[in-house]
Structure 1
Amino acid sequence: MWVCVVLFLSVLSTGHWAIGCPDKCICWRDGHVSCVDQRLRGVPPGLPPTTVNLDLSWNSIAGIPARTFENLTQLRYLYLQGNEISHISGDALMTIPSIQELWLSENQLQEFPWEVVPRLSSLLRLDLQNNRLSHLPSDNLPPFPALTWINLAYNEIATIEGGFLASQPVLETAAVHNNPFSCNCSLQSFREWLDATKVSVPNNADIVCAGPRHLRGRNVMAVPLSALTCRPPTITIYPTNINVLVGHTTVILCNATGDPDPDVEWILPMGAVISAASKTRRIRVLPDGGLLLSPVRQTDAGTYMCIATNQEGRANATASMNVTRLDCSTGECRPSGPILTDSVPVRIFVTSVTSTSALIQWFPLADEPLVLPLPYRVLYYRVGESLQQTAVLKQGVSLYKIKNLKPSSRYSVCVTQSIMPQDDHCMEFRTEDAELTHTYITIGYTLGSVVLLLVIATIVYCYMRCYRRKRRAMVQRSLNAVNLSNNHATIPRAENGMAVHMNGHG
């Protein structure tokens, strides 16, 4: 019994609480709670209301709902790194007004409730490293009153408004490296802030441009302000006049370019506006800005307008579509005129790619008759450019080599028997870097030279070995001849000497 009492007192002396602590957690009397690496899928209920330091690192927590921390009003240190958090409620943070450190690195956050941070008057450190954040708040957000340290490294941030960091009154350290920065006019204020700030910016050598292409890989601080420019959108629509059968599928291409990349939306004939974010199924905007209609209805006939917008301006272009029904009055169903027909579905493969070419191969997935059979056509263009190349092939051909491509570029290629390809008739590929191809050529030349040298060295070695063998044989024959000659010369002397010796002895 006394042993049990001693053990109980020893546990109390270490500060460990066995009562009022959730399963898979360890609680101490000083307010420290550890639930590290317990495969938790959510914040466990029943946490002590006196919790000051809560460590939930390296679990499988997917989200932080609004009422998660409502009883933890004394919480100051919250560790949530290494989870799978994709959403955190601003209301959840508002229930912990005393929070001083918030650690959220190694998660899946695409958005963060920045609007509540100015009301967290005690927040000193905020770690958002290695998430999927792509946007930061604008300059008009109130400052964060106590924030001294923020880590935004290894996210998907393309631009930072200089005022966002400059407006923080007590900021001492800001880590922003290893983000895909777009070095255009939207980054000018951030670039100016980097030049003027006294805030510590660690690893600034890794603050580099991801685009545009001519600045890719350059350090942001080395790019002149005059080079941080933008371009208004330009649009090319193809085709501009379309004839299509009811029930078929069509795509209107809208190649919109600009810097930064413009947002694309479409105005339909009845006035509805849709974008890539719209939830429509039959009519939708494709990732490259094209408009897909499947299946086409009679009411889809009319004028379609593609609109591209960025901070430098706006551009638009239109296309007209005529929808035709099959005329079966003569007993044979025929279209009233040339139409855009569906194509037999194909599966496309890019079998080999270099820095300037790509070999395309395709296989039909069905043997369906077309209303107007057409030969296969290969359509391809460089993503971001409006110029589209077309090659019309002979029937039966299922292999085509695209040449004269640009290195390090993304291309879209479609194979179709119709005027316009369907969504599943296309795919994208990327050409290799020119330096990589040059490296392969250099390696090839080097290996070839090494092999040639080895062959030459082998021939020389064999020749020298044969030469030495013949020379040794010649020398040996000469030595044998000399020895033989010496033997014949010394035998008579030996006999004479022996005769003299014998005579003398006798």
Structure 2
Amino acid sequence: MYVLVLVQILQSTLLAVHSCPDLCTCTDGSSGSELRSVQCSDPGISAVPINVPADTVKLRLEKTLISRVPRAAFYNLSELRFLWMTYNSITSIHPSSFVNLKALRELRLDGNFLTSFPWDRLRDMPRLQTLGLHNNRLSSLPAHASLFLTNITYLDLSSNRLTILPAELLDLWFPLPKQQGGPAQRRILGLHDNPWLCDCQISMVMSLSMSLGTPVVLMDQLLTCSRSLGQSGILLTQDDLSRCMRPSVQPAATRVISPLGSDVILRCNATGYPTPTLTWIKTSGYTGCCQQDILETYDQLPRSLESFMQESPRVGVRWSIISLNGLSYKDAGEYRCQARNMAGISEAPIKLKVVGVSQLSRLPKRKLQKTPKPSLKYRKSNQTRTTITTPSVKENQILQNITSPSINKTQTSPNLESQVFPVHKRRKTNSTNAKKKTRTSIKFASES
């Protein structure tokens, strides 16, 4: 039973290997001089075939109605080296479409309707050297694409809608001598027939591609670009190439300390060609003051500021100021003056600290009437008075022994008596009563 199952699996595998998709033409490559290839160019094909032989080396899907490339569309084609999907109706490519294409060296997608391309998925094709995207609708080339184009020696981006070339690609295509680990890799680029903006990035590519010993060769060196979007294309001149200069920013002060409620002006100057434009960005709130808890939650940072002034006294120079009136703790923080032109971007930070209380909002000090401290003599008399008016235990016993029971019922308690009558008078009264009592006792004794 096990043997029968194994035979069926082998038969199905061989059938899958040697079968050919419908409406396609297959070459088995059994002669040895040719590799196995599959060509599908029938207008009735509307999806990527799923039963392409596993040992296919070259696959051509051309002039069909295929509109999308699904996920893992070529997963079983681990030996595929050439994949041509030209002049179809492809509008989207799944990010995982090229999984397991470890041997692929050439990918052509010319003549489709692509508006974007999964650049980061080039990592699934580590041996890819040729990438053709001619005649599509690509409108942007992201900076991170340079991370995945290191092995590409032929890149055709012509006849698209590209306007800006990232500076990171210049570092990839024209590395500095210090960055080169060896001889620069030769590359062929197709950048023509795009509405490039006249910036220094595309100008630098043109200039370097014309120099002697350059590693980059342009398919067409007559690049046209527009000064701004919507204008007709013009031809770049060498005069524009030589004047490009990255902007440089110089702030009037890098650290400003101002009191609460005051007015302050932050200023920066920039130079470069073309004349740079300046923008202000608040990147963080100041956390070194007493209002730290408020600053952490009052706003989302960073944010671009809109109310500022800028002027250009001459070509290549621009200055800008931002005015802050009636400073509060929320105004404190780090501000960045950013300059931008065709050659690049530069910025400089300015830290603003708000401290203290402004003199305008400070109330006049009031003279507080201080209660005079009791003099030493007064305190001593109070202590003496307290000591005298508080009868001791011995005195209370003497009073209880001397005073008769009949008198205790009608007289005030010793504590109250000590507060009403002075001690020296009370002692005199007690001695008088004692004398009267003694005399009465002598008189009764004589009569008896």
- Report if TM-score (shorter chain) is over 0.5: no
Given the two structures, how large is their TM-score scaled by the length of structure 2? 0.44
In our comparison, the structure showing a higher alpha carbon Rg is 2
